Amino acid sequence: MLKSRNSYRFQKILGRISVWLGLLFFIVILLFPFYFMFISSFKPNDELYNLSKNPLMIESWTLDHYTYLLKQTRFIQWLKNSTLVAVVSTGISIVIGTIAAYSLARLRYRGVQALGMVIFISYLIPTTLLFIPLAYVVRNLGLFDKQVALMITYPTFLIPFCTWLLMGYFRGIPKELEESAMVDGATRLQALRMIILPIMIPGIVSAGLFAFTLSWNEFVYALTLAQTESIKTLPVGIVSQLVLADVYFWGELMGAALLGSVPIALLYSFFLEYYVKGMTAGAVKG
Amino acid sequence: MTKKMSRRDFLRLGAVTASSAFLASCGANNSGNVVNNAANNAAANAVNNAAVNAGASAAAPLSVEGKLTMKLRAAFIPQGNEVLKAIIEDWGAKNNVPVEVDIVSMNDLQTIAATAAETGAGPDIIEINQGSAHLFADKLVNVSDVCEDLGSRYGGWYTSASEACVVEGSWLSVPRFYAPHAVSYRTDVFEAVGVTADNLPQTWDEMLEVGKAIKDAGLPPMAFPLGHAVGDANDFNYSLLWSFGGSDVAEDGKTVTIDSPETRAALEFMLKLKSVMPDEVLSYDDAANNRAFSAGSISATNNAPTIWGNAFLQKSKIMQGETEIELHTVTDHFEYPAGPVGRVSYAEFMSSAIFGHSKNIDAAKALLTYINEKDQLSPWAAPNLGFVFPALQDYKDNVIMPWNTNPKLSHFKNNVGVSHLPGFPSTNFRGGTDAYAKWVIVDMFASVAGGLATIDEAVATAKALLEESYG
């Protein structure tokens, strides 16, 4: 009896240790890039380029790379541009994606399956195939080389993404909830707005976070459709100013990458609870 | 970088530029310093002259719709890019032309140029590489007047510049600069196997012998790029093919000639050379050989002067035994070795094109003329430590050019004169540029070196692809 209890306790401890070791492994894997960016961005060049030094440690600290980044480049401007473009395109995509997902998940009409499939396939087409046709459209609209060009082109890949993410979530919410509301006299839109959307918030937040991240990191459309220096987004600005010929300005690049990831990290940490709820709900009930 | 410059700022920047040139020249010997000091004074004067003369170049007032916009290729030294920006902005101020100049990396330029060509939207002036003028021919403005004027005043254009920019008898792009190539090598490693500045390899066979000696001594090997390195791999592989007498097309521009004894000799040589190089060369991009050299893991590679230049500017260090030394002190260059038919090099080349959608063609032409004139081009080229080699022949012997002031950069001086564009020896540079864009030659050498194909297979694959390009 005692032996079996000890064995049970041992197994429990072993289980916990393996869980923590597993977690530790993933934490190290996930945080290592940030750690490396952090130390590289504070190393003086003579240490950064000296391969006999330990690349994972830092001997002397410098703010030179950040000074260059903030004073000699338009980093702050790029950050503002990225934020504006990402917020607007995410907002547009969430609104349209929610309505589209509701339609595809709830309504029954001819071609609904095919429509869902077409939206999904449109998400699979890579931006490198689409940027020239889209540039042509944008030029004809008179929006070439304007920030609004990005705000209207990003939703072309964000809306399909949001729609598919939210469709799973809609399907996880019992129809009876809105049917009850409609029995009580609500219109379909009222039922959607007052009953379904409040339940949907975790899903919408998840979709919004993903959409924001996709917008934030987008490169090809930003490079081709918004070329003026003052409207460049962060990824394009960094590459165009900190990679010169075959020489990479590693300290500044690492600093820019680190600072550029801060807004995303803040967003995720702020909405973490919703995000987890949204992901799990969509995953198990879809 | 972002602040608008007044004339005073511009002049100040000129002084800074001259200082950077001076610092660069510190790597040279004493006799070089005498020349360097003269060069620095000349650079400072030239910058000042550029500022003073900016307005004088415009014979008639220039009018533009909106702004005159341009995308230019970045050199690896930020100060050099700033000088160029200041020159252009000063011209704009003096001519009352709003200008917007953006200096970006080369890979971005190709995407921007392709978008402009397809959609008819984008900057007025875009710098394009290699023979892109042949690909975008029907989208570009004829700039023969600009090129003929500049050519007549500055000693004419290099052959490879006209190969790149003349399409059916018309100049469609204004040649701008080369990133000249040579072999960058570690003097200490070469000395360890008995190779000094006096007996550097003059032929590829001698190069192979040095490579074997280095390998046998267990020292960092030589490594020439065989991956998709836009500048370095094309440079190395085309140069090797041509210097062995091989070519991908005949002079008629249609007959594919890759299946020749000369090509096979070059491929056989590549197999031997690969035996003294690390496997990583197969995946090298343009930055990879710089990184490997800077890390001390290779002792020679082909490159523009950026390896030495960056090592000098960053004061990067490596270990030499137990001693820590600055890399630039043991880095030098020598010209590409000769093959059986001598030295024939690939040209890493940029030109400035005006796209047909531009509504500011006259202003764009005036600006392109202005920035290629001596008073502007010299102070821009000088601080770029040899990375910018003007396409006009008079600049080769210009006293302030880095290859005339710094012995370590002198080995780049003759590279451009023996260079050609893909498509050589024909005039079908459109086909050549197509083959270049598809990596046909680089992949042919890489597939043999990497053991993915026999020489026969590699030649057959290349031949089929080249027939599409030149067909």
The residue extents of the domains of chain B are 7-172+348-412, 182-345+421-470
* Position B141 pLDDT exceeds 90: yes
Question: Which residues of chain A neighbour B78 with C-beta distances below 8 Å?
Answer: 72, 244
Asked if A240 lies within 8 A of B310 by C-beta distance, the reply is: no
Range B289-298, long-range pairs (CB < 8 A, 24+ positions): B289/B223, B289/B224, B289/B225, B289/B229, B289/B232, B290/A246, B290/A247, B292/B223, B293/B184, B293/B186, B293/B331, B294/A49, B294/A51, B294/B318, B294/B327, B295/A51, B296/A51, B296/B220, B296/B327, B297/B220, B298/B220, B298/B221, B298/B222, B298/B223
Asked if B118 lies within 8 A of A139 by C-beta distance, the reply is: no
What is the arithmetic mean of pLDDT over B345-363?
95
Residue of A nearest to B324 (CA): A52
| pLDDT tier for residue B17 given thresholds of 50, 70 and 90 | very low
Q: What is the pLDDT of residues A177-196, one digit of tens each?
A: 888 999 999 999 999 999 99
State the complex-level ipTM. 0.78
What is the arithmetic mean of pLDDT over B422-447?
96
Q: What is the pLDDT of residues A67-115, one digit of tens each?
A: 999 998 999 999 999 999 999 999 999 999 999 999 999 888 899 989 9
Nearest to A206 by CA among A118, A127, A93: A93
Chain B nearest-CA distance from A134, in A, is 9
**In chain B, pLDDT over 70 holds for what percent of residues?**
87
* Position A9 pLDDT exceeds 80: yes
| pLDDT tier for residue A280 given thresholds of 50, 70 and 90 | low
**Euclidean distance between the first and final Cα of chain A, in Å?**
45
**Euclidean distance between the first and final Cα of chain B, in Å?**
46
* Position B37 pLDDT exceeds 70: no
Asked if A246 lies within 8 A of B306 by C-beta distance, the reply is: yes
Question: Which residues of chain B neighbour A237 with C-beta distances below 8 Å?
Answer: none
**In chain B, pLDDT over 90 holds for what percent of residues?**
75
Pick the CATH number of B182-345+421-470 from 3.30.450.20, 3.40.50.10860, 3.40.190.10, 3.40.50.300: 3.40.190.10
Q: Residue window 53-112, chain A: list those with CB within 8 Å of chain B.
A: 72-74, 77
Chain B nearest-CA distance from A78, in A, is 12
Asked if B318 lies within 8 A of A50 by C-beta distance, the reply is: yes
Question: What was the pLDDT predicted at A120?
Answer: 86
- What torsion, rounded to 10 degrees, do the Cα atoms A29, A34, A36, A38 define? -160
Question: Which residues of chain A neighbour B179 with C-beta distances below 8 Å?
Answer: 245
Which range (A220-224, A274-278, B193-197) has the least confidence?
Answer: A274-278
| pLDDT tier for residue B168 given thresholds of 50, 70 and 90 | very high
Domain B7-172+348-412 indexed as CATH 2.40.420.20: no
What is the arithmetic mean of pLDDT over A39-43?
95
Q: What is the pLDDT of residues B287-309, one digit of tens each?
A: 999 989 988 899 999 999 999 99
Kindly tell me the sign of the dihedral angle through the C-alpha atoms of B420, B422, B428, B430: negative
CB pairs under 8 A between A and B: 117
Chain A nearest-CA distance from B271, in A, is 27
Mean pLDDT of chain A: 90
Question: Which residues of chain B neighbour A236 with C-beta distances below 8 Å?
Answer: 108
Same fold, B7-172+348-412 and B182-345+421-470: yes
Question: Which residues of chain A neighbour B106 with C-beta distances below 8 Å?
Answer: 245
Upper half-sphere CA count for residue A77 (Cβ side, 13 Å): 16
| Max CA distance (Å), chain A | 82
Question: Which residues of chain A neighbour B314 with C-beta distances below 8 Å?
Answer: 45-46, 49
Asked if B314 lies within 8 A of A49 by C-beta distance, the reply is: yes
Chain A nearest-CA distance from B53, in A, is 27
